Structure 1
Amino acid sequence: MPSDVPPQPPRPTSRRRLPVLLAAVLVLVLAVVGLVVVRPGPVERWLADDPAAPSAAPPEPSPVAVLAGTDIGAPMPATDGLRTVLDPLIADTALGGRVHVSVTDALTGQQLFERGGGTGTVPASVTKLLTAVTVLTARGPGYRIPTTAVAGAQPGEVVLVGGGDPTLAAGDKGFYPGAASLKDLAEQVRTALGGTAPTRVVVDSSLYSGPRLEPGWDDDIPTGGYGAQMTALMLDGARKDPKASQGWAERVSQPDLTAGRAFARLLGVPEGEVRSGTAPAPPAGSTETTEATEAPGATGAPVGATGPGAQLGVVQSPPLIRLVDIMISDSDNIIGEALARQVALARGRPASFTGAASAMTEVLSELGLPTEGLALADGSGLSRRNLISPTLLTETLALAASPDRPELGGIFGGLPVGGWSGTLRDRYGSVPGTAAGAGTVRAKTGTLTGVHAIAGVVTTAEGRPLTFAVLTDRVPADGMEPARGALDRIAAALATCGCR
């Protein structure tokens, strides 16, 4: 049964824009962040800190374009035309009894079509789009999350202080490209201690507070391979095996202590000498400090100071823009939760599920985005207590694509491409009525049992970029494939649209 929310006239955008003067700049922004990239590449090549070293390998062949280009002079679809095209597709019974939709012109931010657009709906993983925008706003694209080692209260005692980096690796190569390494940190500690041998490792993961699992998560998430206990210290997203493939992976039950034991082995400390605790307060001394961080035992810790709390070493995560890219492209739930907590820390809130949700809502409101119907419980979208409106998603995407906030454009780099990459690799082509979306739809998907969503950017047949969101949260439990096909037909219809 289709949604019982009747069609409404287009609502005015919640932000003022300069559509004509800024349109050319917008297309440049979209090109830079990847809406006209020729093909996706590994994160480490997109966002490497240094230019790639010369290689003796033969050059790759010229890539083939997989995304349609935009045309700032292309006409904008009309609301009546969109209604004619979309209403029958929204009525598809495969989408269940509650389907909410919003379509916005990416160049002007004007909403062109909505059906229950302002209604909070369970979003699943499209929540990560809000996590990305809020963390890039609150922290900035270049921020790095530290993991610190400080001197403990007793001689030879080393405190490993978690700063919330979910990508930290034990050795030279972990699950995530370019991750910081405990091996490097252990070398710094040995140098700082000089002739003093480490005798004990204290694990300080006190930066995170509150429950380690969100109450709205399904019962099987902690053991189902897509979620984990959220702690401020972990290795490889809490994966038991850093060589695990993308997606499902067995997770450790105590991520912080597992990391502490790995650090102890690197320092030559018996695993029996690993315990939980907190770092001593940093000593007074030199005013030279490490990069600012909210991690206890690291903020203001003087370089070169001695005694309990003195910094022995620090390693940094990849920049947030790279973590955002991985979160979106791989739909990484653990990174999503970690980045949400960075929003909380930046805003002086507890690094907890509730603190993160409150801080994210605050940032979205300050950005001038419509938060009516918004209720956040986590940053990954695993919680069924999340409610997000399609209009909030389309306006968020339009803001990120505009020249007003260039730091937000990074959210597009990881968006899967229809028929090409990520969660859309095998979609747009195999189901009737979806082929037009291949190479023209770039979107984040969301899936929980009974919940299916998609939100992103699509280029019309005439070259007009649109932002769109379709959320449905009452699909029969066995209806995943039909629901996905119905969602894809809606996005593909926008790709073929003149709709005037």
Structure 2
Amino acid sequence: MRPTRWRRSTHVLVGVAVLLLVTAVVAVGAMLTTGGPASDAAQAVDRQPDPAVAEPAVFGLAHTAPEPKPTLLAARLAPVVADPNLGRFTGRVTDAVTGTELWTQGASIPMQPASTNKTLTAAAALLALDRDATLRTTVHTDVDSPGVVILKGGGDPTLSAAGPKTQTWYRNAARIADLADQVRASGTAVRSVMVDLSAYSGPTMAPGWDPLDIQNGDIAPIESVMLDGGRTQPVSVESRRSNTPGLDAGRALAVALGVNPAKVGVVPSTVVEGDEIASVSSPPLMERLRDMMNASDNVMAESIGREVAAALGRPQSFDGAAHAVLDEIGDAGIDTTGAVLFDSSGLSIDDRLTAQTLDEVVVAATGDEEPRLRPLVDLLPIAGGSGTLSNRFLDTAPGRDAAGFLRAKTGSLTGTNALAGIVTDASGRVLTFSLISNEAGPTGRTSIDAVAAALRSCGCSA
């Protein structure tokens, strides 16, 4: 674990802004006709349309907005954090402009973070990788077996089985059909397909994962080539995931090439791969990070975690990715004391993070000392507007007040709810926060939303 190196922000990045409704009024000029009565034509006025006036929809917040007083903020939060449905509850609130801690409760206690863990994965990826980085999936010949082609995974979970006229699950994803077209164009006479999954090492399921989550559609065994994130139905929201995603990809290529999919297998380590005869690339990192954060995509998180591991020279495995993420975060001066990670998605019930670690990541993203982290703010879902927060903060008055003014990564497991993000308070001050609830009661999710909404409604400066 790495010691704390406090980072004080001197300004809040331009992207942390208030969203306003844009109103543009265009006056339509009268159209003259030549076939009307002369008196009508004489009275007609030839007018040009008034120019449209565009008012900015996004603008930076003034740094002079009053900073909340910790005593007043604590008093405002006291009733909502006392809700027994929060169970074991920890949290931390910080002023995004000054980096001053404004409120804390058990912030150094390691807790089950659920998918707020993805905040660390995204931050590590922004620090370690190029934003335009892509992942390649290739097809090779087999040197010793003419007619055998090898589908080699490079870690891209977006590769799609969708047909050429069907929208893919992941935007701008390559298709198995693209690879098949290239193989045919190469002139290779194909009699069978094999799959190379050697890019990833170690187990395909993390400690603390429930195998039932495959059937439930939350995860798939993590392999270096997958179709549509391991979904068995490429564009269905209700799709279960596959137990054998790598082999499924090989079978799909075999079908596209008109050879027997039943003969597809994993290549042994002794096979010598020959010429590359086909290749496709994933969408760039920023698109994949947006999918991961907005949809809380577990498979995407595990893939990106392994990219970070590869960049740091670690094995592309659960353990290698988890340690690489924590190393990269620690090197950025963020306190990772108490962190224990078994995956990059937060799906493991054995993961532990503190509210302090999560909040420090968000503080770093809103500041100016580490500009590589600034895009993280834009990746956070918007309350009542996008991603996993699109249907939250809409029902009650305090929640509706926060809609559009709060952005956060969500986390949800049985008995666990978490939020980590930013909010503009009633005085126009930007605050960062992390809230973690374990052993929650039946209304735990709405209870933690109430805490976040209280930050928006407070102001708490006088």
Contact 1:14/1:370 (<8 A) preserved = yes
Q: Out of 179, 204, 207, which is 2:173 matched to?
A: 179
Partner of 2:253, secondary structure, is helix
Match of 2:448 in 1: 487
Partner of 1:149, secondary structure, is strand
Superposed CA offset, 1:439-481 (max 9, x none): 11111111111111111110011111111111011114xx1xx
Match of 2:217 in 1: 225
Match of 1:254 in 2: 244
Q: What letter matches 2:455 in structure 1?
A: L
Cα separation, 2, equivalents of 1:29 and 1:143: 23
Q: What letter matches 2:154 in structure 1?
A: G
Shift in alpha-carbon separation, 1:233–1:38, aligned structure 2, 3 A: farther
Shift in alpha-carbon separation, 1:260–1:62, aligned structure 2, 3 A: farther
Shift in alpha-carbon separation, 1:38–1:142, aligned structure 2, 3 A: farther
Following superposition, the deviation at residue 242 of structure 1 comes to 1.1
**Map 1:27-66 → 2, pairs under 5 A:** 27-30=13-16, 36=19
Cα separation, 1, equivalents of 2:13 and 2:261: 55
Cα separation, 2, equivalents of 1:71 and 1:107: 10
Cα separation, 1, equivalents of 2:244 and 2:386: 33
Following superposition, the deviation at residue 223 of structure 1 comes to 2.0
Q: Out of 172, 176, 201, which is 1:209 matched to?
A: 201
Shift in alpha-carbon separation, 1:330–1:63, aligned structure 2, 3 A: farther
Identity across the alignment (%)? 40
Q: Out of 144, 148, 166, which is 1:157 matched to?
A: 148
**Map 1:404-443 → 2, pairs under 5 A:** 404-431=369-396, 433-443=398-408
Contact 2:68/2:459 (<8 A) preserved = yes
Contact 2:402/2:453 (<8 A) preserved = yes
Contact 2:4/2:335 (<8 A) preserved = no
Q: What letter matches 2:85 in structure 1?
A: A
Partner of 1:221, secondary structure, is helix
Match of 2:320 in 1: 355
Q: What letter matches 2:445 in structure 1?
A: R
Cα separation, 1, equivalents of 2:458 and 2:58: 16
Match of 2:45 in 1: none
Superposed CA offset, 1:118-152 (max 9, x none): 21110111111111111121222111011111121
**Map 1:101-500 → 2, pairs under 5 A:** 101-153=91-143, 154-170=145-161, 171-172=163-164, 173-192=167-186, 194=187, 196-245=188-237, 248-278=238-268, 308-431=273-396, 433-476=398-441, 479=442, 482-500=443-461
Q: What letter matches 2:263 in structure 1?
A: E
Following superposition, the deviation at residue 218 of structure 1 comes to 3.0
Shift in alpha-carbon separation, 1:410–1:118, aligned structure 2, 3 A: same
Superposed CA offset, 1:61-115 (max 9, x none): 999999896322112112212111112211111101x110111112232222111
Cα separation, 1, equivalents of 2:418 and 2:263: 47
Following superposition, the deviation at residue 337 of structure 1 comes to 1.2
User: How high is the TM-score relative to the length of structure 2?
Assistant: 0.86
Contact 1:67/1:440 (<8 A) preserved = no
Superposed CA offset, 1:1-56 (max 9, x none): xxxxxxxxxxx98334462xxx2xx332435xxx74879xxxxxxxxxxxxxxxxx
Shift in alpha-carbon separation, 1:30–1:112, aligned structure 2, 3 A: same
Match of 1:82 in 2: 73
Following superposition, the deviation at residue 174 of structure 1 comes to 2.3
Partner of 1:361, secondary structure, is helix
Residue 101 of structure 2 corresponds to residue 100 of structure 1: no
Contact 2:19/2:58 (<8 A) preserved = yes
Following superposition, the deviation at residue 278 of structure 1 comes to 5.0
Cα separation, 2, equivalents of 1:140 and 1:106: 26
Q: What letter matches 1:337 in structure 2?
A: E
Partner of 2:323, secondary structure, is helix
Cα separation, 2, equivalents of 1:120 and 1:346: 27
Q: What letter matches 1:275 in structure 2?
A: G
Following superposition, the deviation at residue 219 of structure 1 comes to 4.7
Contact 1:341/1:352 (<8 A) preserved = yes
Shift in alpha-carbon separation, 1:432–1:17, aligned structure 2, 3 A: closer
Cα separation, 2, equivalents of 1:269 and 1:328: 38
Cα separation, 2, equivalents of 1:458 and 1:62: 29
Shift in alpha-carbon separation, 1:322–1:279, aligned structure 2, 3 A: farther
Shift in alpha-carbon separation, 1:136–1:281, aligned structure 2, 3 A: farther
Which structure 1 segments of 5+ residues have no match?
Answer: 1-11, 40-60, 283-307
Following superposition, the deviation at residue 410 of structure 1 comes to 2.5
User: How high is the TM-score relative to the length of structure 1?
Assistant: 0.80
Cα separation, 1, equivalents of 2:55 and 2:90: 35
Aligned length in residues: 426
Following superposition, the deviation at residue 280 of structure 1 comes to 7.3
Q: Which segment drifts farther, 490-499 or 374-383?
A: 490-499
Shift in alpha-carbon separation, 1:329–1:243, aligned structure 2, 3 A: same
Partner of 2:274, secondary structure, is coil
Cα separation, 1, equivalents of 2:372 and 2:414: 34
Q: What letter matches 2:369 in structure 1?
A: D
Cα separation, 2, equivalents of 1:37 and 1:265: 51
- Who wins on radius of gyration, i.e. which is larger? 2
Match of 1:47 in 2: none
Cα separation, 1, equivalents of 2:220 and 2:296: 14
Cα separation, 2, equivalents of 1:417 and 1:224: 26
Partner of 2:368, secondary structure, is coil
Contact 1:460/1:466 (<8 A) preserved = yes
Contact 1:159/1:203 (<8 A) preserved = yes
Cα separation, 2, equivalents of 1:139 and 1:428: 34
